[in-house]
Structure 1
Amino acid sequence: MDDQSSQQGASAGASGFQPVPPQQGQQGGQGVFDPNAAGTPPLPPKPSKPANFQLGSKLGQQLKMKIPPHSLSFDEQYFLHLLAGSISLTKDEKLRIVESIQKLKQSQVDELIKIFEEERKKFAELGEEHVPQLEKLAQQHFEDWVDIEMKQEQGSKAQEDAQKAEEIRKQLGL
């Protein structure tokens, strides 16, 4: 070992750690933790007050969506409000859930309700700085829900019209 490397080894100490000087343009204490700087690391920013943002607040009391007949026991309007207010699901996913209700078990519906309630709670706990983003998402999902309801209504109307046309054909003997 030459003199230079033994000097470096001695200054590095037993751990082999050598402090790295700040790079050009950097100075210690500007929000970056420097283990060699005196004092304590900077504190994380203080969380803002919870905004208590309520998902689904744009929805009316009574939703137009009709759930297919089923043998399950749950508050359909409450379930629909939770589903419609969810900002974690896409429009298609929401529609598939409604259409598959009759195939679900009671425990699955109960679990969905629990998940939607937890989602509401977590979004209500977000800080006030997130409200503008949440409002945009809530508006988008509200518009999606209105679209889902309109499609279901149009589908029902088309089915009704087809039944009436079939009855008229039968009456005419066609």
Structure 2
Amino acid sequence: LFGRDGPDGDHRTLQRKGLQNQDTFLTLLKVASRNYRTWVVAMLYGASFGIELTVLNYIHTYFHDVFDIRKLTAGYYASTFGLMNVFARAFGGLGSDYASRRYGMKGRLWVWFILLLGEGAFCIALGRSDHSLGATITFCVLFSCCVQAANGACYGVVPFISKRSLGVVSGFVGAGGSAGSIITQLAFFRP
């Protein structure tokens, strides 16, 4: 009501001045869906956010079953994975922005790549640390930090895919995360 609708100003003012995008939704949908970058970023976000949702769905059971601890205690330990969202996602976005100041888009992509690589390495370490509760919690926190930061770094790249259809691209990428979770859960936890 009292704020601006976007970084360029109020929608009605922009429309009156002829500065607002006049494309229809179908046109924007075509622009976004025909850009291969939209699909690549959606798949990579699916690898990151999809894994996050899958781990959040299962990690408490893992702690309970592997370490034979009470479900409430397992839930407390499992919450460390989700709590990293409080700061790590923002750090991924900040890292992306910082790298872009010096290296441009290549910097953003390298930050995202390194975080995805860390995500994979700590996921493997987490799976192999079932001998020690302390090591498992440590790797859970490190894995989660990389997962959340990679999610933030992803959305540091999204605005550069298509300025014209940014909202549609953002929607496709977000849906890619949910699809990644469905695929991951079907691949690893089929009944």
TM-score (norm 1): 0.28
Identify, as 1 or 2, the structure richer in helix: 2
Question: Higher relative contact order at CA 8 Å, sep ≥6: structure 1 or structure 2?
Answer: 2
